[in-house]
Amino acid sequence: MSKVGLFYGSTTGNTKNVAEMVRNELGADNVDLHDVAGAGPADVGGYGILILGVSTWGLGDLQDDWEAFASSLKSLDGRKVALFGLGDQQAYPDTFVNAMGTLYEKATEAGADVVGAWPTDGYDFGDSTAVVNYEFVGLALDEDRQPDMTAGRVKAWVNQLKVELGLQTETEMSDETLQPPMGGRI
């Protein structure tokens, strides 16, 4: 497996915690973790696979550190990019994980092949720019309303990524590791 560059921005620590969970599920030796607060454009260049983690602030804004770093996503031609986003579906139901939608737009405009779409089942929100073709463009998480679902969702999503990235085949996994935990609506 080639090294994966996992870039995240975290204000409260929640996105950092999820980034570490994703790294651990993929295997710590396979993933370089980068806080975008201290990373630059050169850091992105060395990876064929990128995972980008962002939280949504205010009414759909990127986390502060991502505001400056997002311009580093200029030329991603042919690279695989997976996204995960954190938001609050109850307090901000009409902008839930919109920052992930913003990164999706930047990555696709830069020529990336975005993988890791995630079902919207099990969430209760009004609208999101991170929904394309009735799916989230990446893993959506709500540490405010559904923190008990995070670990299961991360595990299922990473297993899905392993298949989509060709790192593991579906036959090498059990059916239960490929099924996203949905949970009930809140």
Residue ranges per structural domain of the chain: 4-178
Is the pTM higher than 0.85? yes
- Is residue 40 within 8 A of residue 11, CB to CB? The reply is no
Q: Was domain 4-178 assigned CATH 3.10.110.10?
A: no
3-state SS, residue 40:
coil
| Residue 13 CB neighbours (<10 A) | 9
Q: What does each of the 186 residues of the chain score in pLDDT, given as a tens digit? A: 578 999 999 999 999 999 999 999 999 999 999 999 999 888 998 899 999 999 999 899 999 999 889 888 888 988 999 999 999 999 999 999 999 999 999 999 999 999 999 999 999 999 999 999 999 999 999 999 999 999 999 999 999 999 998 887 666 555 544 555 554 332
- Beta strands, E only, the chain: 4-8, 31-35, 49-57, 61-62, 80-86, 113-115, 118-119, 131-132, 135-136, 139-141
The Cα–Cα gap between 146 and 98 comes to 18
Q: What is the largest CA-CA distance in the chain?
A: 42
